[in-house]
Amino acid sequence: MDNVPRRHEEELEMGLRLGREVADPPGEREETRRHVEWRRHRLRWTWGCRDFWRAVEMATRTLILGLILLVTPGLCNHQDAVHITAILGESVVFNCHVEFPDHNPVPYVLTWRKKINDEVRYRASAQQGGGPSLLAVRELRGWPPFAKGALLVPANSPGAQLLPEYLRKELARHHGKHTEQDQSIDVGFLGKEIPIYIWYEAYPAHNGAGYEGRVSKVSPDSHYGVASLNLTNIQESDQGWYKCIVAFLNRSPNNKNGTWFHLDVHAPPAFTITPEEMIYVNLGDAIILNCQAMGTPKPEILWFKDESPVEPSSTIKIMNDGTELRISMIKTEDIGDYTCLARNGEGQISHTARVIIAGGAVITIPPTNETKREGEKVMFSCEAKALPGNVTVRWYREGALISDVSELDTRASVKMNGSLVIDPVRADDSGMYLCEVTNGIGEPQTASAYLNVEYSAKVTFNPTTQYLPFRMAGVVHCYIKANPPLQYVTWTKDKRLLEPYQINDIIVMTNGSLLFTRVKEDHEGMYVCTPYNAHGTQGSSAAMEVLVRNPPVFTIDPQPMYQRKVSETVEMHCDAQESEGTEKPIITWQRKDGEPLPRNRAKVIGGNLTIESLRRQDFGAYQCVAANEVATIMKTTQLIVEGTQPHAPHNVTGTADKFSVSLSWLPGYSGGPDYKQDYTIWYREEGAQDWKTIPVTPSGSTTVTISRLQSGTNYEFQVVGKNALGDGMFSKVITVKTLDVGLQKSTIPTSSSGNQPLGAEADQIGGPRPGPPRNVSVAEISNGFLITWMPPLERSHLVKFYTINFKTDGPWKTLNKGQIRPEDTSYLMKNLVGGRTYYFVVFANATDSAGVSDQIKYSVPARVKQKAITAGVVGGILFFIVAIILSICAVKICNKRKRRKQEKELLSAYNMVTCRVTDARNGAGQGPQGTVPLKKSTNLNACGESVSTLTRCSTLNPQPPQPLHQPLPTQVTPATTATSEPIHDQPVPPNRDRDHHTLQLDNRDFDSVFIIERRNSKPNIR
């Protein structure tokens, strides 16, 4: 028994004891004892043979190893192996130096090998106890295998220090009773080495399988050893032991070099197993979420629910190193998103699974917006899951079932996975497409996407003839469709290129049509338009004949105003006549505010509008419209319905303070001039049931302040008017939030920095906020630039007014001076500078917050600047000409007035003449009896000038009065000389009145007429 290993001896004795305890029949116990003794003897013999052959094997391996260590002293340049760590996908260099014999380079063969399946078997033995006993079989990674076969290492030798720490501890634990000199270890290696790279100069290098293109010898000029190997695109399978072997061809086998390298490949985590993204459960179910990842170092697995770490409980467990999350009984609070996070030193990844209650269908892959060119193929995804899984998918286009849209019959199809395919797409296919899924449980789920089909600009309609109204504004239309939007349109007239920008009375509209501000006869001709966009054009329009004709004219105009009382009937007359060569105009009536005419009470007969049984809502402006192929003209009239309750106040606005709100509004129609209107405020907290009322004082006031309100609270307000007939209509409800304590008076804030649009901070103030205005765009029109937008989709009822901010290169500024009403969605800009780029933002303002649109960019064409300069020059010239004409007219008017004033002064100062009898034969008396007054008459001379003549009114001569045909003298004498020179030098009668200066006109045979002329220093004005 001495040669039998102690452990097997103990096992044998145990077997004997167990055998004795077996309840065998007495006759068989002796046979069993003899059988055990025979087995014990056989076991001794067997172990003796094994110990002999094992001793022989160990001696042989020791001899071989000794020879190897003796003949190959340069097997490794370093006593320890080189450990290298690399990242997956990167490159690494194994630095291997070569020691040439006598430091002289000689030819050599370089071989790099990789060790695979490096499993290590080791045995510890006690020399005192006889043969070695088998301890364990382990797989060792990280311990350099310096040789194959068996290696006997004394425990106290330096070679024992190369063993791993745990191996030395285990050796001491099993053989602690022996002395260190007696302890030894038998190490065996299993596995093989495969060449991955073989190099010899002047021959092609050999690359092993899996290393093609990834291994190469480093350049001789590098700082690495000449036998170094470069390994690129590192993979996880590259981890392991590598051996550098250098063999000198012209030397004995003992001249070779080499080094061992161990490569550790680190890789970021990568999932190998993940749970499904959507997990449908019922309450009370049990589920297991399995999440496994690989990577180097080994990734750590963490679990989160709705972004919070999962807390284990009686029903929630995390098992198997965190790879499994088990929920034994699903509860309502267990429903949600579960995220598996795998991380190591190289990175982290995550995967989320949503646990939901089984029921109706849920869309897992919704459709997304698509943009395609005309003629291409488009596919909208719509995948859904449900429990049960009998999911039905329906597609709609603009609210109509796809199968009912005739234009898509042959081009649209729904696949088995629910996807919609349209092949090919056309321009008219643009629109909203909606996917509806259901499995019969709960409400159907929907998801929508927009299809945008782009195509070259094209003309959609070609009228052969178009008309322009003479001396009015008219339009020659070019009917265009384009996506992307139209960029420009070229026009030809009578086959010649037309340059509208160089003609004053022609403007190109944003839709490409031509606007003639004042039509002339020479505007007739044959016109052709060609549209262009970013994709080009699909061709020109057909030639269109443009004719200039006179527009229709009104022959009967409606009165400017009709005043009627409630329940009365009003008849508004209107008629129009066509011009020669045109069709008779059709006359229609419409309300200016766009509301329809009362259906059962209004009728149009012969162009006349009759409204019976007038009501309060009939109040407003009406338009008579006459239209034919040439032009559309209209006349506006006002209908006043008296004797009604007041109309609703409008433009109600409120300004909030901490504990009060100030309201103001514009009054509605009071019901007639005989009715006085008072107001009442209705208000309540938002969400309350009952309204409170406050009468407005003084009577007729349109402003009021409501006090004793709570701070930081939303209130609703509306205003109602009242007259002697009763209460009128309520205004629209507005919502105002009082300020919180510590805030200043509520206004839409502005940005002092200019770095953001004015009002962009309004989001920071409390209260409900409207959604952002949509589809903001800028377009050039005839009289400026029009910015338009669409109301918000969300909470549009909160919009009180709009504001527009703009900037160029500087800070943001407010464009509109006043508030833009909520029903208005456009604003006209006239002063944009040509050649500059503008940025615009539209705000939908509520009481204390605002919704902000997306910022849009608009570049003003440079031609606008040129047109503005030309218009300025022309305007300046016209102004100068008008100024000259007005100056001349002013001078003439002043001179005319001065002449009239001088004539009046002449007649008033010298209204006396002297008559004498020139013919003594008439027997005229002398002295004062011969002087009589004369009548003044005014005639026109040959030049058309006014000439004053005098006739004698003396009774001394019975002859009829003779006019004085000679015009007034034109000579000028100083104003201080009050004398008149006679035309003929004749003596002055001695009895002439010396108090007057006289002028003798003639000495012929008729009465001499004398006239007194006032002279001054200026010429006489004719």
User: According to the model, what pLDDT value does residue 807 have?
Assistant: 86
Average pLDDT over residues 872-899: 86
More confident residue, 991 or 246: 246
The span from the CA of 974 to the CA of 1019, in Å, is 10
The span from the CA of 534 to the CA of 159, in Å, is 81
Identify which of 774, 824, 775 has the alpha carbon closest to the alpha carbon of residue 801: 824
More confident residue, 351 or 360: 351
User: According to the model, what pLDDT value does residue 987 have?
Assistant: 45
Most confident of 813-822, 879-888, 930-939, 953-962: 879-888
**Residue 127 scores a pLDDT above 80:** no
Other residues' Cβ atoms within 10 Å of the Cβ of residue 557: 13
**Tokens coding 265:** 């490949």
**Residue 138 scores a pLDDT above 80:** no
User: According to the model, what pLDDT value does residue 19 have?
Assistant: 39
User: According to the model, what pLDDT value does residue 455 have?
Assistant: 94
Average pLDDT over residues 115-125: 55
For the chain, percent of residues with pLDDT exceeding 70: 69
CB distance 293 to 342 below 8 Å: yes
**Residue 740 scores a pLDDT above 50:** yes
User: What band does 998 get if pLDDT is binned at 50, 70 and 90?
Assistant: very low
Lowest mean pLDDT among 13-22, 206-215, 461-470: 13-22
pLDDT digits (tens, 9 = 90+) for 702-734: 999 998 888 889 999 999 999 988 888 899 999
Average pLDDT over residues 902-913: 63
More confident residue, 598 or 255: 598
More confident residue, 122 or 402: 402
User: According to the model, what pLDDT value does residue 868 have?
Assistant: 59
pLDDT digits (tens, 9 = 90+) for 176-201: 444 334 444 544 445 678 899 999 88
552's CB contacts (< 8 A; 6+ apart) are 576, 577, 578, 579, 582, 585, 626, 627, 628, 630, 631, 633
User: What band does 1010 get if pLDDT is binned at 50, 70 and 90?
Assistant: very low
Mean pLDDT score of the chain, rounded to an integer?
76
User: What band does 603 get if pLDDT is binned at 50, 70 and 90?
Assistant: very high
User: According to the model, what pLDDT value does residue 89 have?
Assistant: 85
Average pLDDT over residues 630-640: 93
Domain 650-737: homologous superfamily in CATH: Immunoglobulins (2.60.40.10)
**Residue 26 scores a pLDDT above 80:** no
Greatest Cα pair distance in the chain: 217
Identify which of 248, 302, 227 has the alpha carbon closest to the alpha carbon of residue 77: 227
More confident residue, 127 or 632: 632
pLDDT digits (tens, 9 = 90+) for 310-320: 999 999 999 99
User: What band does 769 get if pLDDT is binned at 50, 70 and 90?
Assistant: confident
The span from the CA of 391 to the CA of 360, in Å, is 9
CATH class of 75-265: mainly beta
**Residue 626 scores a pLDDT above 90:** yes
Q: Which residues does residue 37 pair with via DSSP β-bridges, in sequence order?
A: none
Lowest mean pLDDT among 226-230, 287-291, 475-479: 226-230
Q: Which long-range CB contacts under 8 A does 830-833 form with residues at least 24 apart?
A: 830/783, 830/784, 830/785, 832/784, 832/785, 832/860, 832/864, 833/860, 833/864, 833/865
**CATH architecture assigned to 760-865:** Sandwich (2.60)
User: What band does 272 get if pLDDT is binned at 50, 70 and 90?
Assistant: very high
pLDDT digits (tens, 9 = 90+) for 386-401: 777 788 999 999 989 9
Average pLDDT over residues 894-898: 85
Lowest mean pLDDT among 96-100, 285-289, 298-302, 469-473: 96-100
**Residue 864 scores a pLDDT above 80:** no
More confident residue, 290 or 39: 290
The span from the CA of 582 to the CA of 580, in Å, is 6
Identify which of 254, 263, 273, 138 has the alpha carbon closest to the alpha carbon of residue 211: 263
Q: Name the CA dihedral angle for 773, 449, 786, 531, rounded to a multiple of 10 degrees.
A: 170
**Residue 339 scores a pLDDT above 60:** yes
More confident residue, 183 or 655: 655
The span from the CA of 277 to the CA of 292, in Å, is 15
Most confident of 107-111, 414-418, 925-929: 414-418
**Residue 604 scores a pLDDT above 80:** yes
pLDDT digits (tens, 9 = 90+) for 919-953: 434 444 444 444 444 444 444 444 444 444 444 44
Token pair 């006593």 is found at 79
User: According to the model, what pLDDT value does residue 39 have?
Assistant: 56
More confident residue, 823 or 762: 823
Average pLDDT over residues 345-358: 88
User: What band does 58 get if pLDDT is binned at 50, 70 and 90?
Assistant: low
Treating both helix axes as pointing N-terminal to C-terminal, what angle do 6-21 and 26-71 enclose, rounded to 10 degrees? 170
pLDDT digits (tens, 9 = 90+) for 479-503: 999 999 999 999 999 999 998 888 8
The span from the CA of 136 to the CA of 139, in Å, is 10
Average pLDDT over residues 226-250: 87
CB distance 948 to 936 below 8 Å: yes
Average pLDDT over residues 638-651: 89
Average pLDDT over residues 881-889: 89
What's the CATH number for 465-549? Answer: 2.60.40.10
User: According to the model, what pLDDT value does residue 680 have?
Assistant: 94
pLDDT digits (tens, 9 = 90+) for 198-212: 998 878 888 888 899
User: What band does 957 get if pLDDT is binned at 50, 70 and 90?
Assistant: very low
User: According to the model, what pLDDT value does residue 909 have?
Assistant: 58
More confident residue, 220 or 37: 220
User: According to the model, what pLDDT value does residue 946 have?
Assistant: 44
pTM: predicted TM-score of the whole model, two decimal places: 0.38
Is the dihedral angle over the CA atoms 335, 339, 340, 341 positive or is it negative? negative
User: According to the model, what pLDDT value does residue 863 have?
Assistant: 64
CB distance 634 to 625 below 8 Å: yes
For the chain, percent of residues with pLDDT exceeding 90: 34
CATH class of 362-454: mainly beta
Average pLDDT over residues 603-609: 92
User: What band does 33 get if pLDDT is binned at 50, 70 and 90?
Assistant: low
User: According to the model, what pLDDT value does residue 549 have?
Assistant: 93
**Residue 450 scores a pLDDT above 90:** yes
State which fold the 274-357 domain adopts.
Answer: Immunoglobulin-like (2.60.40)
CB-count exposure of residue 304 (10 Å: 0-12, 13-18, 19+) = middle
pLDDT digits (tens, 9 = 90+) for 965-976: 444 443 433 333
Most confident of 22-36, 333-347, 814-828: 333-347
User: According to the model, what pLDDT value does residue 413 have?
Assistant: 93
Average pLDDT over residues 778-783: 83
In one-letter notation, the amino acid at residue 273 is I
User: According to the model, what pLDDT value does residue 931 have?
Assistant: 41
CATH class of 553-642: mainly beta
186's CB contacts (< 8 A; 6+ apart) are 58, 122, 123, 124, 125, 132, 150, 151, 152
924's CB contacts (< 8 A; 6+ apart) are 916, 917, 930, 956, 957
User: What band does 784 get if pLDDT is binned at 50, 70 and 90?
Assistant: confident
